[in-house]
Chain A
Amino acid sequence: MPFGLIKYALSSSYPGKRFIAARPELKSNYDVVIIGGGGHGLATAYHLARYHGIRNVAVFEKGYIGGGNTGRNTAIIRSNYLTPEGVAFYEESVSLYRQLSQELDYNILYSERGHFTLAHTDSAMRTSRWRAEVNKHLGVDSELVYRDDLARLIPQLNLSEDVRYPILGALYHPPGAVARHDGVAWGYAGRAAELGVEIHQGTTVTDIEVTDGKVTGVVTDRGRVSCGKAVQAVAGASTVIADMAGLKLPIRTIPLQACVSQPHKPILDPIIVSGSLHVYISQSDRGEFVMGGSTDPYPRYQTTSSLDFIEGLMSHVLELLPHLSEVQVMRQWAGMTDMTPDFAPIMGETGVENYYIDAGWGTWGFKATPVCGKRMAEMVATGRVPALIAPFRLSRFENFDQVGEKGAASVGH
Protein backbone atom coordinates (compact mmCIF):
# COMPACT_ATOMS: atom_id res chain seq x y z
CA MET A 1 0.00 0.00 0.00
CA PRO A 2 2.28 2.77 -1.30
CA PHE A 3 -0.16 5.63 -0.54
CA GLY A 4 -0.40 4.60 3.07
CA LEU A 5 3.37 4.64 3.22
CA ILE A 6 3.64 8.11 1.66
CA LYS A 7 1.11 9.46 4.12
CA TYR A 8 3.14 7.88 6.89
CA ALA A 9 6.34 9.47 5.61
CA LEU A 10 4.83 12.97 5.30
CA SER A 11 2.94 13.03 8.57
CA SER A 12 4.45 15.32 11.20
CA SER A 13 2.91 13.51 14.15
CA TYR A 14 3.83 9.86 14.69
CA PRO A 15 0.96 8.01 13.03
CA GLY A 16 1.90 4.48 14.10
CA LYS A 17 -0.01 2.87 16.90
CA ARG A 18 1.93 2.51 20.14
CA PHE A 19 2.07 -1.08 21.22
CA ILE A 20 2.29 -0.42 24.90
CA ALA A 21 1.90 2.76 26.91
CA ALA A 22 5.03 4.74 27.76
CA ARG A 23 6.11 3.78 31.26
CA PRO A 24 3.13 4.43 33.57
CA GLU A 25 3.44 5.56 37.21
CA LEU A 26 3.52 2.69 39.70
CA LYS A 27 0.27 2.02 41.51
CA SER A 28 0.47 1.10 45.19
CA ASN A 29 -1.17 -2.27 44.75
CA TYR A 30 -1.55 -4.96 42.09
CA ASP A 31 -3.40 -8.27 42.20
CA VAL A 32 -0.49 -9.92 40.44
CA VAL A 33 3.09 -8.75 39.90
CA ILE A 34 5.13 -10.50 37.23
CA ILE A 35 8.89 -10.18 37.48
CA GLY A 36 10.56 -10.36 34.06
CA GLY A 37 9.23 -9.04 30.76
CA GLY A 38 10.39 -11.89 28.56
CA GLY A 39 8.02 -14.07 26.55
CA HIS A 40 7.10 -16.16 29.58
CA GLY A 41 6.19 -13.22 31.85
CA LEU A 42 4.28 -11.41 29.09
CA ALA A 43 2.38 -14.54 28.02
CA THR A 44 1.38 -15.15 31.64
CA ALA A 45 0.14 -11.56 31.93
CA TYR A 46 -1.83 -11.90 28.69
CA HIS A 47 -3.51 -15.14 29.79
CA LEU A 48 -4.39 -13.69 33.20
CA ALA A 49 -6.07 -10.69 31.58
CA ARG A 50 -7.68 -12.46 28.63
CA TYR A 51 -8.89 -15.74 30.11
CA HIS A 52 -9.12 -15.18 33.86
CA GLY A 53 -10.34 -11.58 34.08
CA ILE A 54 -7.36 -10.57 36.24
CA ARG A 55 -6.31 -7.21 34.84
CA ASN A 56 -4.76 -5.37 37.75
CA VAL A 57 -1.42 -6.83 36.74
CA ALA A 58 2.05 -5.27 36.48
CA VAL A 59 5.01 -6.68 34.59
CA PHE A 60 8.39 -5.39 35.83
CA GLU A 61 11.15 -5.57 33.28
CA LYS A 62 14.66 -4.41 34.08
CA GLY A 63 15.57 -3.56 30.47
CA TYR A 64 13.17 -3.67 27.53
CA ILE A 65 10.61 -6.39 26.76
CA GLY A 66 12.05 -9.40 24.99
CA GLY A 67 15.60 -8.11 25.55
CA GLY A 68 16.58 -11.19 27.53
CA ASN A 69 16.74 -14.70 26.15
CA THR A 70 13.42 -14.23 24.35
CA GLY A 71 15.12 -11.95 21.82
CA ARG A 72 18.39 -13.91 21.76
CA ASN A 73 17.37 -17.46 20.97
CA THR A 74 17.55 -19.37 17.73
CA ALA A 75 13.76 -19.71 17.77
CA ILE A 76 13.43 -23.47 17.30
CA ILE A 77 10.04 -24.93 18.22
CA ARG A 78 9.48 -28.69 18.49
CA SER A 79 7.87 -31.32 20.73
CA ASN A 80 9.97 -34.44 20.05
CA TYR A 81 11.19 -34.77 23.63
CA LEU A 82 12.14 -37.90 25.54
CA THR A 83 9.96 -38.17 28.64
CA PRO A 84 6.17 -38.55 28.35
CA GLU A 85 5.80 -35.55 30.70
CA GLY A 86 7.98 -33.41 28.46
CA VAL A 87 6.39 -34.52 25.19
CA ALA A 88 2.83 -33.81 26.41
CA PHE A 89 3.87 -30.39 27.70
CA TYR A 90 5.77 -29.24 24.60
CA GLU A 91 3.09 -30.64 22.30
CA GLU A 92 0.53 -28.34 23.91
CA SER A 93 2.93 -25.47 23.29
CA VAL A 94 3.31 -26.37 19.61
CA SER A 95 -0.47 -26.49 19.18
CA LEU A 96 -0.76 -23.04 20.79
CA TYR A 97 2.04 -21.69 18.60
CA ARG A 98 0.35 -22.89 15.43
CA GLN A 99 -2.53 -20.49 15.94
CA LEU A 100 -0.70 -17.78 17.88
CA SER A 101 -0.64 -15.27 15.00
CA GLN A 102 -4.46 -15.43 14.93
CA GLU A 103 -4.77 -15.42 18.71
CA LEU A 104 -2.66 -12.27 19.02
CA ASP A 105 -3.70 -10.77 15.67
CA TYR A 106 0.00 -10.26 15.07
CA ASN A 107 2.15 -12.18 12.63
CA ILE A 108 4.85 -14.06 14.51
CA LEU A 109 6.09 -15.58 11.21
CA TYR A 110 5.55 -19.14 12.38
CA SER A 111 7.22 -21.32 9.79
CA GLU A 112 7.15 -25.14 9.83
CA ARG A 113 10.35 -26.47 8.33
CA GLY A 114 10.91 -30.01 9.57
CA HIS A 115 13.53 -30.68 12.23
CA PHE A 116 16.35 -33.20 11.92
CA THR A 117 18.42 -34.31 14.89
CA LEU A 118 21.38 -36.06 13.26
CA ALA A 119 22.77 -39.20 14.85
CA HIS A 120 26.45 -39.94 14.37
CA THR A 121 26.84 -42.84 16.81
CA ASP A 122 25.05 -46.08 17.63
CA SER A 123 23.99 -44.70 21.00
CA ALA A 124 22.52 -41.60 19.34
CA MET A 125 20.60 -43.89 16.96
CA ARG A 126 19.23 -45.80 19.95
CA THR A 127 18.13 -42.61 21.74
CA SER A 128 16.53 -41.38 18.51
CA ARG A 129 14.59 -44.60 18.12
CA TRP A 130 13.49 -44.39 21.76
CA ARG A 131 12.39 -40.78 21.30
CA ALA A 132 10.53 -41.62 18.08
CA GLU A 133 8.58 -44.36 19.85
CA VAL A 134 7.67 -42.19 22.85
CA ASN A 135 6.68 -39.39 20.47
CA LYS A 136 4.49 -41.56 18.24
CA HIS A 137 2.82 -43.10 21.25
CA LEU A 138 1.78 -39.60 22.34
CA GLY A 139 0.62 -38.58 18.85
CA VAL A 140 3.67 -36.52 17.90
CA ASP A 141 4.87 -36.78 14.30
CA SER A 142 8.39 -38.15 14.68
CA GLU A 143 10.38 -40.93 13.06
CA LEU A 144 13.82 -42.39 12.66
CA VAL A 145 15.28 -41.91 9.17
CA TYR A 146 18.39 -43.36 7.57
CA ARG A 147 21.11 -42.18 5.22
CA ASP A 148 19.16 -42.84 2.03
CA ASP A 149 16.19 -40.88 3.42
CA LEU A 150 18.50 -38.03 4.36
CA ALA A 151 20.05 -37.94 0.88
CA ARG A 152 16.55 -37.38 -0.47
CA LEU A 153 15.21 -35.03 2.25
CA ILE A 154 18.30 -32.80 2.68
CA PRO A 155 20.31 -33.00 -0.54
CA GLN A 156 22.69 -30.28 0.73
CA LEU A 157 23.88 -32.42 3.64
CA ASN A 158 27.39 -33.84 3.52
CA LEU A 159 26.83 -37.58 3.88
CA SER A 160 30.45 -38.49 3.23
CA GLU A 161 31.90 -41.20 5.45
CA ASP A 162 35.25 -39.54 5.17
CA VAL A 163 34.64 -37.02 7.97
CA ARG A 164 35.21 -36.99 11.71
CA TYR A 165 31.60 -37.91 12.58
CA PRO A 166 29.85 -39.63 9.66
CA ILE A 167 26.05 -39.37 9.77
CA LEU A 168 24.20 -42.64 10.45
CA GLY A 169 20.63 -41.35 10.48
CA ALA A 170 18.40 -38.80 12.15
CA LEU A 171 15.31 -38.25 14.24
CA TYR A 172 12.95 -36.49 11.84
CA HIS A 173 10.20 -34.27 13.26
CA PRO A 174 8.19 -32.72 10.38
CA PRO A 175 6.34 -30.11 12.54
CA GLY A 176 9.64 -28.57 13.77
CA ALA A 177 9.33 -24.81 13.26
CA VAL A 178 10.89 -21.40 13.74
CA ALA A 179 9.16 -18.11 14.53
CA ARG A 180 10.05 -14.49 14.94
CA HIS A 181 11.05 -14.37 18.61
CA ASP A 182 10.70 -10.63 19.27
CA GLY A 183 7.30 -10.78 17.59
CA VAL A 184 6.18 -13.26 20.24
CA ALA A 185 7.12 -10.85 23.03
CA TRP A 186 5.58 -7.83 21.25
CA GLY A 187 2.39 -9.68 20.36
CA TYR A 188 1.74 -10.81 23.92
CA ALA A 189 2.74 -7.42 25.35
CA GLY A 190 0.51 -5.48 22.96
CA ARG A 191 -2.58 -7.58 23.62
CA ALA A 192 -1.98 -7.71 27.37
CA ALA A 193 -1.59 -3.91 27.49
CA GLU A 194 -4.86 -3.47 25.57
CA LEU A 195 -6.58 -5.48 28.29
CA GLY A 196 -5.19 -3.25 31.03
CA VAL A 197 -1.93 -4.92 32.05
CA GLU A 198 0.76 -2.39 32.95
CA ILE A 199 4.15 -3.09 31.42
CA HIS A 200 6.91 -1.27 33.25
CA GLN A 201 10.11 -1.36 31.23
CA GLY A 202 13.29 -0.04 32.80
CA THR A 203 12.08 -1.18 36.22
CA THR A 204 14.40 -3.43 38.21
CA VAL A 205 13.12 -5.58 41.04
CA THR A 206 15.46 -5.18 44.01
CA ASP A 207 13.65 -7.05 46.80
CA ILE A 208 10.65 -9.23 47.55
CA GLU A 209 8.69 -8.88 50.77
CA VAL A 210 7.63 -12.10 52.44
CA THR A 211 5.58 -11.89 55.65
CA ASP A 212 4.62 -15.03 57.60
CA GLY A 213 5.61 -17.22 54.68
CA LYS A 214 3.49 -15.26 52.22
CA VAL A 215 4.50 -12.78 49.54
CA THR A 216 3.13 -9.29 50.29
CA GLY A 217 5.07 -6.86 48.16
CA VAL A 218 7.75 -6.25 45.57
CA VAL A 219 10.38 -3.53 45.79
CA THR A 220 11.74 -1.93 42.62
CA ASP A 221 14.19 0.86 41.87
CA ARG A 222 11.11 3.05 41.26
CA GLY A 223 9.41 2.28 44.55
CA ARG A 224 7.52 -0.42 46.39
CA VAL A 225 4.19 -2.01 45.49
CA SER A 226 2.08 -4.47 47.42
CA CYS A 227 0.68 -7.47 45.63
CA GLY A 228 -1.67 -10.40 46.14
CA LYS A 229 0.45 -12.80 44.15
CA ALA A 230 3.79 -12.70 42.37
CA VAL A 231 5.41 -14.71 39.60
CA GLN A 232 9.09 -14.76 38.74
CA ALA A 233 10.10 -15.47 35.13
CA VAL A 234 13.62 -14.09 34.80
CA ALA A 235 15.64 -16.89 33.12
CA GLY A 236 19.36 -16.24 33.80
CA ALA A 237 18.56 -14.09 36.84
CA SER A 238 16.39 -16.81 38.46
CA THR A 239 18.72 -17.47 41.39
CA VAL A 240 19.17 -13.76 42.15
CA ILE A 241 15.41 -13.12 42.30
CA ALA A 242 14.59 -16.39 44.12
CA ASP A 243 17.19 -15.43 46.72
CA MET A 244 15.16 -12.26 47.45
CA ALA A 245 12.20 -14.51 48.31
CA GLY A 246 14.42 -16.78 50.42
CA LEU A 247 14.43 -19.70 47.98
CA LYS A 248 17.24 -21.98 46.85
CA LEU A 249 17.31 -23.31 43.30
CA PRO A 250 19.18 -26.11 41.53
CA ILE A 251 20.18 -23.73 38.74
CA ARG A 252 23.46 -22.64 37.20
CA THR A 253 23.57 -19.50 35.06
CA ILE A 254 25.60 -20.35 31.97
CA PRO A 255 26.00 -18.24 28.81
CA LEU A 256 24.83 -19.65 25.48
CA GLN A 257 26.09 -18.07 22.29
CA ALA A 258 24.65 -17.89 18.78
CA CYS A 259 25.29 -16.06 15.50
CA VAL A 260 23.80 -15.24 12.11
CA SER A 261 25.35 -14.99 8.67
CA GLN A 262 24.72 -12.40 6.02
CA PRO A 263 21.47 -13.02 4.15
CA HIS A 264 21.34 -15.34 1.13
CA LYS A 265 18.70 -16.73 -1.19
CA PRO A 266 16.64 -19.51 0.37
CA ILE A 267 18.66 -22.72 0.05
CA LEU A 268 18.05 -24.53 3.33
CA ASP A 269 14.49 -25.34 4.30
CA PRO A 270 14.79 -27.69 7.30
CA ILE A 271 16.29 -27.10 10.73
CA ILE A 272 19.37 -29.27 11.24
CA VAL A 273 20.76 -30.21 14.63
CA SER A 274 23.76 -32.34 15.50
CA GLY A 275 24.37 -33.31 19.10
CA SER A 276 27.78 -34.81 18.44
CA LEU A 277 28.99 -31.77 16.52
CA HIS A 278 27.22 -29.29 18.85
CA VAL A 279 25.55 -27.43 15.99
CA TYR A 280 22.12 -26.24 15.07
CA ILE A 281 21.37 -24.32 11.93
CA SER A 282 18.36 -23.00 10.06
CA GLN A 283 17.79 -20.27 7.48
CA SER A 284 15.58 -17.39 8.58
CA ASP A 285 12.88 -15.80 6.45
CA ARG A 286 15.33 -12.97 5.82
CA GLY A 287 17.82 -15.46 4.40
CA GLU A 288 20.31 -15.39 7.27
CA PHE A 289 21.74 -18.66 8.51
CA VAL A 290 21.00 -18.81 12.23
CA MET A 291 23.55 -20.96 14.05
CA GLY A 292 24.15 -22.01 17.60
CA GLY A 293 26.08 -24.54 19.60
CA SER A 294 26.55 -25.78 23.14
CA THR A 295 26.64 -23.65 26.26
CA ASP A 296 29.86 -22.00 27.41
CA PRO A 297 32.14 -24.26 29.47
CA TYR A 298 31.54 -22.55 32.84
CA PRO A 299 28.86 -20.47 34.63
CA ARG A 300 28.88 -16.67 34.40
CA TYR A 301 26.50 -13.73 34.64
CA GLN A 302 27.65 -12.27 31.35
CA THR A 303 26.64 -11.99 27.74
CA THR A 304 30.02 -11.61 26.05
CA SER A 305 30.83 -13.48 22.84
CA SER A 306 34.04 -15.37 22.24
CA LEU A 307 36.21 -16.18 19.24
CA ASP A 308 36.68 -19.74 20.53
CA PHE A 309 32.96 -20.33 20.18
CA ILE A 310 32.68 -19.06 16.64
CA GLU A 311 35.77 -20.93 15.46
CA GLY A 312 34.58 -24.24 16.89
CA LEU A 313 31.04 -23.78 15.64
CA MET A 314 32.07 -22.88 12.10
CA SER A 315 34.39 -25.85 11.72
CA HIS A 316 31.48 -28.10 12.67
CA VAL A 317 28.93 -26.33 10.46
CA LEU A 318 31.26 -26.76 7.50
CA GLU A 319 31.58 -30.48 8.13
CA LEU A 320 27.78 -30.76 7.68
CA LEU A 321 27.27 -28.12 4.98
CA PRO A 322 30.59 -27.51 3.19
CA HIS A 323 28.97 -25.32 0.54
CA LEU A 324 28.53 -22.58 3.16
CA SER A 325 32.28 -21.99 3.31
CA GLU A 326 32.07 -18.61 1.53
CA VAL A 327 29.23 -17.35 3.72
CA GLN A 328 30.20 -14.56 6.12
CA VAL A 329 29.14 -14.32 9.74
CA MET A 330 27.36 -11.05 10.39
CA ARG A 331 26.53 -10.94 14.11
CA GLN A 332 27.29 -12.93 17.25
CA TRP A 333 25.75 -12.65 20.71
CA ALA A 334 24.98 -14.54 23.93
CA GLY A 335 22.21 -14.97 26.49
CA MET A 336 22.34 -16.15 30.11
CA THR A 337 20.62 -19.50 30.42
CA ASP A 338 19.23 -21.01 33.63
CA MET A 339 20.38 -24.63 33.47
CA THR A 340 18.84 -27.36 35.64
CA PRO A 341 20.49 -30.70 36.45
CA ASP A 342 17.79 -32.77 34.67
CA PHE A 343 17.32 -30.42 31.67
CA ALA A 344 13.64 -29.95 32.56
CA PRO A 345 12.09 -26.66 33.74
CA ILE A 346 10.99 -25.62 37.21
CA MET A 347 7.39 -24.44 37.31
CA GLY A 348 4.84 -24.03 40.04
CA GLU A 349 4.64 -23.44 43.76
CA THR A 350 7.67 -22.49 45.78
CA GLY A 351 6.89 -22.98 49.45
CA VAL A 352 6.34 -19.20 49.79
CA GLU A 353 2.58 -18.75 49.64
CA ASN A 354 1.27 -16.96 46.52
CA TYR A 355 4.76 -16.82 45.05
CA TYR A 356 5.18 -18.81 41.86
CA ILE A 357 8.20 -19.67 39.80
CA ASP A 358 8.79 -20.20 36.09
CA ALA A 359 12.50 -20.95 35.67
CA GLY A 360 15.04 -23.52 34.58
CA TRP A 361 14.39 -22.81 30.91
CA GLY A 362 18.01 -23.16 29.98
CA THR A 363 18.52 -23.50 26.26
CA TRP A 364 15.01 -24.80 25.50
CA GLY A 365 12.38 -22.34 26.80
CA PHE A 366 11.36 -20.31 23.75
CA LYS A 367 9.27 -23.17 22.40
CA ALA A 368 7.45 -23.31 25.76
CA THR A 369 6.42 -19.64 25.86
CA PRO A 370 2.68 -20.06 25.02
CA VAL A 371 2.11 -23.11 27.23
CA CYS A 372 3.90 -21.40 30.12
CA GLY A 373 1.72 -18.34 29.76
CA LYS A 374 -1.43 -20.46 29.69
CA ARG A 375 -0.57 -22.81 32.53
CA MET A 376 1.17 -20.33 34.84
CA ALA A 377 -1.84 -18.02 34.52
CA GLU A 378 -4.21 -20.90 35.25
CA MET A 379 -2.25 -21.75 38.38
CA VAL A 380 -2.09 -18.15 39.61
CA ALA A 381 -5.79 -17.60 38.93
CA THR A 382 -7.15 -20.85 40.38
CA GLY A 383 -4.53 -21.58 43.05
CA ARG A 384 -4.27 -25.14 41.73
CA VAL A 385 -1.31 -26.64 39.93
CA PRO A 386 -2.37 -27.88 36.45
CA ALA A 387 -1.60 -31.60 35.97
CA LEU A 388 0.41 -30.84 32.83
CA ILE A 389 3.06 -28.90 34.76
CA ALA A 390 2.95 -30.76 38.10
CA PRO A 391 5.96 -32.98 37.18
CA PHE A 392 8.13 -29.86 36.91
CA ARG A 393 7.63 -28.78 40.54
CA LEU A 394 10.62 -27.41 42.44
CA SER A 395 10.21 -30.03 45.17
CA ARG A 396 11.00 -32.86 42.72
CA PHE A 397 14.68 -32.53 43.57
CA GLU A 398 14.10 -33.06 47.28
CA ASN A 399 12.16 -36.22 46.40
CA PHE A 400 14.72 -37.45 43.86
CA ASP A 401 11.96 -37.45 41.26
CA GLN A 402 13.63 -35.66 38.33
CA VAL A 403 12.36 -35.48 34.77
CA GLY A 404 15.45 -36.52 32.78
CA GLU A 405 15.37 -34.65 29.47
CA LYS A 406 19.08 -34.52 28.74
CA GLY A 407 18.69 -37.05 25.92
CA ALA A 408 16.36 -34.63 24.12
CA ALA A 409 18.53 -31.52 24.51
CA SER A 410 19.54 -30.39 21.04
CA VAL A 411 23.25 -30.13 21.72
CA GLY A 412 25.69 -31.40 24.31
CA HIS A 413 26.36 -29.29 27.37
Chain B
Amino acid sequence: MKQMNCPLNGVRNIQEFAHGGEVVDQPDPNRCSDAEWAEFVFMEANTAGVVREWWCHVATAYWFIAERDTLKDEIIRTYDAGELFKERVDFTRPEAPKET
Protein backbone atom coordinates (compact mmCIF):
# COMPACT_ATOMS: atom_id res chain seq x y z
CA MET B 1 0.00 0.00 0.00
CA LYS B 2 1.15 3.50 -0.77
CA GLN B 3 2.26 5.54 2.20
CA MET B 4 2.87 9.20 2.87
CA ASN B 5 4.95 10.89 5.51
CA CYS B 6 2.77 13.31 7.44
CA PRO B 7 4.87 16.11 8.97
CA LEU B 8 2.75 15.85 12.12
CA ASN B 9 1.96 12.13 12.44
CA GLY B 10 4.73 10.33 10.59
CA VAL B 11 4.30 7.67 7.89
CA ARG B 12 0.65 6.71 7.35
CA ASN B 13 -1.36 4.84 4.70
CA ILE B 14 -2.35 7.06 1.76
CA GLN B 15 -6.06 6.43 2.46
CA GLU B 16 -5.78 8.59 5.57
CA PHE B 17 -5.03 11.64 3.44
CA ALA B 18 -7.14 13.90 1.25
CA HIS B 19 -5.74 15.70 -1.78
CA GLY B 20 -6.38 19.44 -1.62
CA GLY B 21 -5.11 20.75 -4.96
CA GLU B 22 -2.21 22.87 -6.19
CA VAL B 23 -0.62 25.54 -4.03
CA VAL B 24 -1.53 28.78 -5.84
CA ASP B 25 -1.59 32.41 -4.78
CA GLN B 26 -5.05 33.69 -4.08
CA PRO B 27 -5.77 37.01 -5.77
CA ASP B 28 -7.32 39.72 -3.58
CA PRO B 29 -11.05 38.99 -3.93
CA ASN B 30 -11.89 42.65 -3.25
CA ARG B 31 -9.73 43.96 -6.04
CA CYS B 32 -9.32 41.31 -8.76
CA SER B 33 -11.51 41.02 -11.85
CA ASP B 34 -14.10 38.27 -12.27
CA ALA B 35 -11.85 36.66 -14.85
CA GLU B 36 -8.91 36.57 -12.44
CA TRP B 37 -11.12 35.08 -9.74
CA ALA B 38 -12.52 32.47 -12.16
CA GLU B 39 -8.99 31.53 -13.13
CA PHE B 40 -8.06 31.09 -9.48
CA VAL B 41 -11.14 29.00 -8.76
CA PHE B 42 -11.27 26.78 -11.85
CA MET B 43 -8.04 26.63 -13.83
CA GLU B 44 -5.50 23.92 -13.05
CA ALA B 45 -1.82 23.70 -13.95
CA ASN B 46 -2.37 19.89 -13.94
CA THR B 47 1.38 19.49 -14.40
CA ALA B 48 2.82 16.27 -15.79
CA GLY B 49 5.86 16.24 -13.50
CA VAL B 50 6.72 17.66 -10.10
CA VAL B 51 3.88 19.52 -8.36
CA ARG B 52 3.45 21.32 -5.03
CA GLU B 53 0.10 20.62 -3.39
CA TRP B 54 -2.04 20.93 -0.29
CA TRP B 55 -2.81 17.64 1.45
CA CYS B 56 -4.76 16.96 4.61
CA HIS B 57 -4.29 14.19 7.14
CA VAL B 58 -7.99 13.61 7.64
CA ALA B 59 -7.92 11.91 11.04
CA THR B 60 -6.14 14.91 12.61
CA ALA B 61 -7.47 17.60 10.22
CA TYR B 62 -3.89 18.72 9.66
CA TRP B 63 -3.16 20.53 6.38
CA PHE B 64 0.38 20.47 5.02
CA ILE B 65 2.28 20.68 1.75
CA ALA B 66 3.60 17.83 -0.38
CA GLU B 67 5.82 17.82 -3.44
CA ARG B 68 5.25 14.84 -5.67
CA ASP B 69 5.87 13.60 -9.19
CA THR B 70 2.63 12.97 -11.09
CA LEU B 71 4.40 10.92 -13.78
CA LYS B 72 6.11 8.50 -11.37
CA ASP B 73 3.62 8.64 -8.50
CA GLU B 74 6.46 9.43 -6.09
CA ILE B 75 6.17 11.64 -3.07
CA ILE B 76 9.32 13.73 -2.95
CA ARG B 77 8.89 15.77 0.22
CA THR B 78 6.20 16.74 2.72
CA TYR B 79 6.44 19.71 5.08
CA ASP B 80 4.49 22.04 7.33
CA ALA B 81 2.75 24.92 5.56
CA GLY B 82 4.69 27.25 7.86
CA GLU B 83 7.73 26.71 5.62
CA LEU B 84 5.95 28.60 2.84
CA PHE B 85 3.65 30.91 4.71
CA LYS B 86 5.73 32.99 7.12
CA GLU B 87 3.13 35.58 7.94
CA ARG B 88 -0.41 35.43 9.03
CA VAL B 89 -2.85 36.13 6.16
CA ASP B 90 -5.72 38.35 7.20
CA PHE B 91 -8.83 38.40 5.09
CA THR B 92 -10.53 41.77 4.99
CA ARG B 93 -14.21 41.77 4.50
CA PRO B 94 -15.38 43.52 1.32
CA GLU B 95 -17.36 46.68 1.82
CA ALA B 96 -21.05 45.93 2.07
CA PRO B 97 -22.91 47.11 -1.02
CA LYS B 98 -24.79 50.38 -0.39
CA GLU B 99 -28.49 49.92 0.13
CA THR B 100 -30.53 51.34 -2.69
A: residues with CB less than 8 A from B are 239-240, 248-253, 297-302, 304, 306-308, 341, 397-400
Contacts and interface: CB of A to CB of B under 8 A. Distances in A.
Given A248-B39, A400-B38, A304 B46 contact: no
Contacts of A397: 38, 42-43
B14 A301 contact: no
21 contacts: A239-B48, A248-B43, A249-B44, A249-B46, A252-B46, A253-B48, A298-B19, A299-B19, A300-B71, A301-B70, A302-B72, A302-B73, A307-B1, A308-B1, A397-B43, A398-B34, A398-B35, A398-B38, A398-B39, A400-B34, A400-B38
A338 to B, nearest CB: 9
Nearest to A247: B43
Contacts of A306: 2
Contacts of B2: 306, 308
A242 to B, nearest CB: 9
B73 A253 contact: no
Given A299-B19, A302-B71, A304-B73, 15 more contacts: A249-B44, A249-B46, A250-B44, A252-B46, A253-B46, A253-B48, A297-B15, A298-B19, A299-B46, A301-B70, A302-B72, A306-B2, A307-B1, A397-B42, A398-B35
Nearest to A237: B48
Contacts of B35: 398
Contact of B46 (A239, A297, A298): A239
B1 A301 contact: no
A66 B48 CA distance: 22
A255 B1 CA distance: 17
A341 B72 CA distance: 25
A341 B38 CA distance: 12
Interface in B1-47: 1-2, 14-15, 18-19, 34-35, 38-39, 42-46
Contact of A308 (B15, B44, B72): B15
Contact residues of A: prevailing secondary structure: loop
A251 B48 CA distance: 12
Contacts of B19: 297-299
Contacts of A301: 48, 70-71
A400 B48 CA distance: 27
B34 to A, nearest CB: 7
Contacts of B42: 250, 341, 397
A350 to B, nearest CB: 14
Contact of A240 (B1, B48, B72, B73): B48
Nearest to B19: A298
Most buried by B among A240, A297, A304: A297
Most buried by A among B1, B42, B73: B42
B63 to A, nearest CB: 15
Contacts of A253: 46, 48, 70
B73 A300 contact: yes
A176 to B, nearest CB: 31
Contact of B44 (A251, A302, A399): A251
A240 B44 CA distance: 11
Contacts of B44: 239, 249-252
Most buried by A among B35, B45, B46: B46
Interface in B65-91: 70-73
A357 to B, nearest CB: 14
